[in-house]
Amino acid sequence: MREHDSYGSTTMRGKRRKFDDDDPTFVKRGRIEPALKEDPDLPEEGDRWSTWDGALHGPEPRPDWVRTEYGAVDTELGMLKTGKEADVFLVRRAVPGTDKISMLAAKRYRDGDHRMFHRDAGYLEGRRVRRSREMRAMSNRTAFGKEMISGQWSAAEFGALGRLWEIGRESDLVCVPYPVQLIGTELMMEFIGDWETGEAAPRLAQVRADPDQLADLWRQMTDALSVLARAQVAHGDLSPYNTMVHNGRLVMIDLPQIVDVIANPRGGEFIARDVRNVANWFRSRGLTIDEDELIERLHFEAGLR
Ligand SMILES: Nc1ncnc2c1ncn2[C@@H]1O[C@H](COP(=O)(O)OP(=O)(O)O)[C@@H](O)[C@H]1O
Ligand SMILES: [Mg+2]
């Protein structure tokens, strides 16, 4: 039986970890806003009541570890990573006094004033927003427009994770974190890593694999790419940094910009770019890869040829 106190926040402290390639990473540990604990409306342990009720929920059938109890409490265990567009926090959601525990990654998209818009232009371009007040607000980057853009990112990623999670459940050929819930700009999903220690799984870029493991990871990657192509989508930002490896299993993350390769006139290019990004990494580790052949096959599977 897992005892929820056995992996409390103390085990998380004092470790410095670097989580990203491209960003100056600032990792903060410890509780957030301890002063709020005085509030009588807050639970006796944890930082807040579970926000499950009132959130949008992920696809069913839900994994049995998803905590749906009203009495569950959320405890912030610290920041996993801060990035240009979103911060990712580790949250434990548990029913006090029981072994009903889940570990969640809470990805909080920044509002417009605190993030960079490098992905927004391409994304908004192919996006039809009917209500023109909203379209104008987004293109003028008013406060309302910025909030809407962040909300669309989290909603897009929540939708993409749900869709791929369902495909993965049926085919077992693609693996993504289960999207637990969405509230506004905050997406909470399955934490990929050690639930006891709170240690996140390594990203592919950090993995040292022997030739057999490398070949197996590449096979998993091509299987996943194939499933995506047949679903007529491209990840859109696939890289060794947006792929984690957990217990030998390849897990794709960071999917807000998922591309519909039929609707998008450059769909084929997005597929090719995803393939090249990961193929380069595998090749640099010594694997022989024919990426042009793979791209051609994926285009065919997506119905583009
Ligand atoms: N579900 C998860 N489980 C564990 N760690 C995660 C999870 N999602 C994100 N992370 C961590 O946060 C980092 C940033 O997440 P990502 O979705 O790639 O956002 P960004 O847009 O900042 O690149 C990841 O590289 C990983 O280290
Ligand atoms: Mg990323």
Asked if pLDDT for residue 19 goes beyond 60, the answer is no
Tokens of residue 204, six digits? 């592919």
Position 12 scores a pLDDT of 40
Average pLDDT estimate for 74-95: 95
Other Cβ atoms closer than 10 A to 50:
23
Query: How is 118-164 classified by DSSP, letter by letter?
Result: TTHHHHHHT-----HHHHHHHHHT-HHHHHHHHHHHHHHHHHHHHHH
Residue 1 CA to chain centroid, in angstroms? 28
| CATH 3.30.200.20 location in the chain | 4-190
Q: Is 200 in the pocket of ligand 1 (CB under 6 A)?
A: yes
- Computed over its alpha carbons, how large is the radius of gyration of the chain? 20
| CATH 1.10.510.10 location in the chain | 204-301
Q: Is 251 in the pocket of ligand 1 (CB under 6 A)?
A: no
Tokens of residue 90, six digits? 């580790």
Q: Give per-residue pLDDT as tens, 230-258.
A: 999 999 999 999 999 999 999 999 999 99
The rounded distance, in Å, linking the Cα atoms of 204 and 241 is 6
Position 15 scores a pLDDT of 40
In terms of pLDDT, which residue wins out, 24 or 41? 41
The rounded distance, in Å, linking the Cα atoms of 292 and 138 is 38
The rounded distance, in Å, linking the Cα atoms of 153 and 147 is 10
Position 68 scores a pLDDT of 98
Residue 103 CB contacts under 8 Å (≥ 6 apart), including other chains? 90, 91, 92, 93, 190, 191, 193, 195, 198
Q: Which of 269, 265, 209 lies closest to 234 in space, CA to CA?
A: 269
Q: Is 239 in the pocket of ligand 1 (CB under 6 A)?
A: no
Q: Give per-residue pLDDT as tens, 175-194.
A: 999 999 999 999 999 999 99
- Ligand 2 centre distance from Cα of residue 68 (Å): 28
Taking CA atoms, 262 is separated from 251, 272, 301, 305, in Å, by 25, 14, 12, 11
For the ranges 9-18, 22-31, 256-265, the maximum mean pLDDT occurs at 256-265
Asked if residue 61 has a cis previous peptide bond (ω within 30° of 0), the answer is yes
Residue 295 CB contacts under 8 Å (≥ 6 apart), including other chains? 271, 272, 275
Q: Look at ligand 1, atom 9, and give the residue with the nearest C-alpha.
A: 88
CATH number of 4-190: 3.30.200.20
Class of domain 204-301: mainly alpha
